[in-house]
Amino acid sequence: MVTATHEASHRLFQEHPEALAPVFEALGLPPPVKTDFHELSPDVTEIRPMERRADTVLMFEPDMGEHFVLAVEAQTKKDPEKARNWAYYVSYLRAKYDLPVLLVAVCRDPSTAAWAMGPFECAVGPWTTQVTRPFVLGPQTVPEVTDDAVVAQQPALAALSAIVHSQSKRAAAILEAVARGLVFFEPSVTKYWFEVVEVGLESTPARENWRKLMQNVVTHFPGHGTLFEEKYLEGKSEGKAEGKAEGKAEDILRVLTVRGVPVSDDVQNHVTACTDLDTLTTWFDRSLTVSRAEDLFSAEEDDPAAS
């Protein structure tokens, strides 16, 4: 049965195979690069009457090093039938492409993750003919991402962390960090990752927490009356203007720092000295895209770099 978690896993690894970084680290391989992968057909049906289809199948072809096939499967519960299918997937893909095959199972439930590690044996009496041992991406193997700077650098890994740790005690802290980190991207990128995580969380309690966090992020579309904007404007009407200005200035400098844009002392002083919320809001919007910190300020304003 295809679930929302399967769909999120399918899209995540198809479009961002760099999320497989924990697998490559465990194998002693360099971090994966997106350009080293290309998608293969997930169809592993031979003749019919039975149709079989893996979630995602990728070919890993670096310029140097071993080439191999990755079959990625999202698994939400223990399923002996699926274990038998996995053995078939591995043998079929090995024969079809004449390359080693790595089977990766993505699990958010700790007990399912422990089960999915196998080994699953095909044996007659004391003799084992075949053994299937998936590499499991789950709570035991995926790092807990709680630093928004890491989110900005590795959004695919952060999204995977939010999904597989959705049932852990640290789930709330992970979701909050991922939400903070994602707002530093272009609006379309932010929206994409928010949706990937929401779909991956499916019907878990963490999904509702995630939706609440989505409502509280700063708007990227001022003047359009979006839910994000409404929540942001509600926040602007509360508290002292001075405190809000300081917070906005800190947000601007934080965005530039996370994006890797150098900030001079003149720029920092110019931003922190400003107390006009409308001006700071304009600068914040620019901070999401500028390549130089000095570009925050328009030609009509004093350029701190020139003073």
**Domain residue spans of the chain:** 4-137, 148-218, 239-306
* Higher local confidence (pLDDT), 51 or 77: 77
Question: What's the sign of the alpha-carbon dihedral 112, 118, 120, 125?
Answer: negative
pLDDT tens string 236-276: 454 445 567 788 888 888 888 878 889 998 899 999 888 88
- According to DSSP, the β-strands at 120-124 and 127-132 are antiparallel
pLDDT tens across 87-130, in order?
999 999 999 999 999 999 999 889 999 999 999 999 888 899 99
Is the pLDDT at 190 greater than 90? The verdict is no
Q: Compute the half-sphere exposure of residue 263: CA atoms within 13 Å on the CB side of its CA.
A: 19
What pLDDT sits at residue 70? 92
Q: What is the pTM of this model?
A: 0.63
Average pLDDT over residues 219-224: 51
Residue 300 scores a pLDDT above 70 = no
Each residue of 25-63: pLDDT tens digit? 888 888 888 888 888 866 655 544 445 567 789 999 988
The CA distance from 297 to 282, in Å, is 9
Task: Report how far residue 1's alpha carbon sits from residue 105's, in angstroms, rounded to the nearest whole number.
Answer: 16
